[in-house]
Structure 1
Amino acid sequence: MSGDLASLVDVFGRVGLIGAVFAGVPFCVYMFASETMAKTRRTRPAARARGGGRKLTD
């Protein structure tokens, strides 16, 4: 019984790890994108006031 349980936990652990990676990557990308959007939204009026046009970096 303990051997079956161990192999079951091993399989679920691998599937869970793969699932976490596949679920985590889009989440990280989304968080990074939203953070970047928030930064550009914050800096864009200042850049426009300086006449920077499309410049996003300070």
Structure 2
Amino acid sequence: MKGLFDFTEVATYFFRKKDPNRKTNFNLRTMHLINKISMLMFLAGLVYLVFKLMTR
């Protein structure tokens, strides 16, 4: 059960430092931006569902 609520991967994805040795391009930056937006929307929906179930 403990592994189900382990969000360290998500937190480190949002707050990691940029690697100066890695080359970036527009496609890679866009892909990471879309991933971050989709994770935020998923977490917001999860919070909404939990809140909705708690207020019943």
From the CA coordinates, give the structure whose radius of gyration is larger.
1
Identity %: 6
Q: Comparing both chains, which one has the higher relative contact order based on Cα–Cα distances under 8 Å and sequence gaps of 6 or more?
A: 2
Partner Cα distance (1:27, 1:13) in 2: 22
More displaced, 15-24 or 32-41? Answer: 15-24
The RMSD of aligned alpha carbons is 2.0
The alignment of Structure 1 onto Structure 2 pairs a total of residues equal to: 35
Alignment TM-score, normalising by the size of structure 1: 0.49
Q: Structure 2: 5+ residue runs without aligned partners?
A: 1-21
Partner Cα distance (1:16, 1:43) in 2: 41
Deviation at 1:18, TM superposition (A): 1.1
Higher helix share: 1
Partner Cα distance (2:28, 2:47) in 1: 27
Alignment TM-score, normalising by the size of structure 2: 0.51
